[in-house]
Structure 1
Amino acid sequence: MSKLTVATATMYELSLAGAEEASRLGEQSGDIDHLLLALTISEQVAGQVLRALGVDLERTRAAVEQQHADQLASLGVRAAASGPGRITFHERGEFDWNDRALDVLRRAAKGGKRGDAAAVLRELVQEGSGLIEAILQRLGTTPQQVRELLDQAERYPAPPNRAADNGRSISGAGAAHVTAPVAEVWALLSDPARMPEWDLGFGRVDDLPDDVALGATWTAYALETAPNGKPQRINSERRRARIELVESEPTTAIEWITTWPDSPTSNKRRMRIELEPAAGGTRVVIRAAWERMSSRRGIPLLRWAMRPLYSFMIWLQISQIGGSIGRVFR
């Protein structure tokens, strides 16, 4: 991926997770502690390094809460904390990073730095306020240990993820970290009735099968009202979808094909999700493809011109699915 693509993807990923964490406390502005929390659930190298050091989401949440409480106590303030609530960002939709968090993000993409999560983490652990260092100490590690493990991990960079177009389908793959054991993630994904919990394109499901075996089908209906209460504009031909289960390997992999019966020329969506145990939860690998119907003729020149947009849409869909699965358990 290009530097711009990497930096944009990282900003999207961290801003979404940071906004969700801030919303648990009723906040609409993100600080460097929210940035650290967002990094703990990143599937990029930075997140893997933090979790390997024991800096996972739940322990970091507790350390951040205690650090703020101790700072207030040192000023003679002992206000009773109301405690975190549920994630409400998708209902409110308002969020901004404060100046020092934005400064970290900008420095991570400045000059020869790539702007990926590892660059953000490097800038974060050397941020001058001392807040992140204090939180890390509560978690039994130091900025130096973080940098050393990052150095080791980045000697073996992951291959870039690009969308592929073979003329009949456009596909891509990505990964996400979920803070729950494999068995719980599998229970979510393998239950057709729970699909609207993680695939936010659907608001409800119907015609559920008695036996969820290979070849089982059910109907999913487009989400009509967004979490913030606003009505969604829905193409009448895309209001109803048919989901077919085409592969199921318990606790390992599951795959579906989605078609739209009222739009017979619409491309089919194939989605496969693979689960792997990981430190602090589950690594979720998402493979998505849009497959052209045999009755629909492709226009090679148009497909070539639209390839950047298709690549972005595949990436965005995979990111949203990964984020939504993780959100269920946070």
Structure 2
Amino acid sequence: MSKFVRVAQTSQSLSLAAMEEASRLGLRTADIEHLFLALVINDQAAGRALRDIGIDLDAARRAVEEQHAAQLASLGIEASFPEAGRIVFHETDGYEWSKRASDLIARSADKDKAGDAAAVLRELVAEPSGMIADILERLGTTPAALLAQLDAPDSSTPATTPAAAAMRGRISGSTETFVPAPIERVWDYLAEPTNIPDWEMSVGSIENARQDAAVGGVWTGFARERRPDGKPVKVKPRFLRRRIELVAAHGPERIAWSFAYPDAPRSNAALYEFSLAHTSGGTQVSITTSWSRRTGWRRVAGLPLRPIQKFIVWITLFQTGGAISRAFR
């Protein structure tokens, strides 16, 4: 992976998680404490180092709240903070980074730095305000101990979440995401048909969703009429219905769903495969999507669009992984 791609993907994933955390408090600006929370649930080595040292999302959220209260108390201000609600980032807009957070992320990608989540974490613990150091102290550790953990061999990397093997004649893409929940809960969530509209953006509702989920079972999905932010969605008639089939279920390690358009017979069915593995503080989920490659002149005609296609696949997988993680936060 090139540095440019690594920096872009790291920035995108941290931005999503941080702004989701800010949205729980009704904020539109994500600051360094929200970046810290995003790193706690990051799937790269930085997130594993934080979780291996004993920091989970709930504890980190409490430490951030306590730090904010202590800062106000030091100024002689007595105030109660509104209780955090659910994540509403995907239903709203107008979010941005604070200047110090955006500058910090930019420094992590300087020419002599990797630009990955570990580089962001190193910049964060050295941030001159001392806020993150104080938060770490509330969590029973120090910047030095955290950096030592980050530099230690990455023993918590899951060994059983390989992306599905590429199949001849199929186009595929894959990504990984960390979910802050036990593997059994994540498996139950992915195996439940009623949850599909939560992580598959093209599906708004499912007919007979309560029927038992068994391999070979088929459901009918319907395109969503509105986006999560309330904006209407225009869908061509032939793409209104989805045929959804459970094609594999080996709990709690693997599950696969197939999505096809029964009213568009020339379209290719998409296969979503999820591989789950225990990891420190939760579950590592590998997500792979694939579909049949076009043949003949259609394949040749589509070659110039391949880079755009890869980007769309990555965005789709990124949204799917984010939605699954969000369900447990």
Q: Distance in 2 between matches of 1:156 and 1:70?
A: 34
Q: Which residue number corresponds to residue 291 of structure 2?
A: 290
More displaced stretch, 64-73 vs 139-148: 139-148
Contact 1:179–1:329 under 8 Å retained in 2: yes
Post-superposition, which runs of at least 4 consecutive aligned residues in structure 1 deviate over 6 A? 154-158, 161-167
Aligned partner of residue 39 in structure 2, secondary structure = helix
Unaligned runs of 5+ in 2: none
Q: Which residue number corresponds to residue 228 of structure 2?
A: 227
Aligned ranges 1:270-309 → 2 under 5 Å: 270-292=271-293, 297=296, 299-309=298-308
Aligned residues: 326
Contact 1:163–1:314 under 8 Å retained in 2: no
Contact 2:243–2:259 under 8 Å retained in 1: yes
Q: Which residue number corresponds to residue 10 of structure 1?
A: 10
Aligned partner of residue 152 in structure 2, secondary structure = helix
Cα deviation 1:272-318 (Å, max 9, x = unaligned): 1111122211111111112246xx64545444432322222222222
Q: Distance in 2 between matches of 1:209 and 1:90?
A: 26
Q: Which residue number corresponds to residue 198 of structure 1?
A: 199
Q: Which residue number corresponds to residue 62 of structure 2?
A: 62
Contact 1:170–1:291 under 8 Å retained in 2: yes
Aligned ranges 1:234-249 → 2 under 5 Å: 234-249=235-250
RMSD value, Cα: 2.3
Q: Which residue number corresponds to residue 179 of structure 1?
A: 180
More displaced stretch, 7-16 vs 201-210: 201-210
1:315 is aligned with what amino acid?
W
Identity %: 43
1:312 equivalent to 2:311? Answer yes
Shift of the alpha carbon at 1:163? 11
**Relative to 1, partners in 2 of residues 1:164 and 1:7: Cα closer, same or farther, differing over 3 Å?**
farther
Q: Distance in 2 between matches of 1:22 and 1:45?
A: 23
Unaligned runs of 5+ in 1: none
Q: Which residue number corresponds to residue 131 of structure 2?
A: 131
Q: Distance in 2 between matches of 1:153 and 1:126?
A: 22
Aligned partner of residue 284 in structure 1, secondary structure = strand
Q: Distance in 2 between matches of 1:150 and 1:99?
A: 26
Q: Distance in 1 between matches of 2:273 and 2:254?
A: 7
1:19 equivalent to 2:14? Answer no
Contact 2:133–2:142 under 8 Å retained in 1: yes
Contact 1:172–1:289 under 8 Å retained in 2: yes
Cα deviation 1:39-90 (Å, max 9, x = unaligned): 1111111111111111221110000000000110111111122210111111
Q: Which residue number corresponds to residue 43 of structure 2?
A: 43
Shift of the alpha carbon at 1:225? 0.6
Give the TM-score taking structure 2 as reference length: 0.92
Cα deviation 1:214-257 (Å, max 9, x = unaligned): 11100111111112111012222211110111100121111011
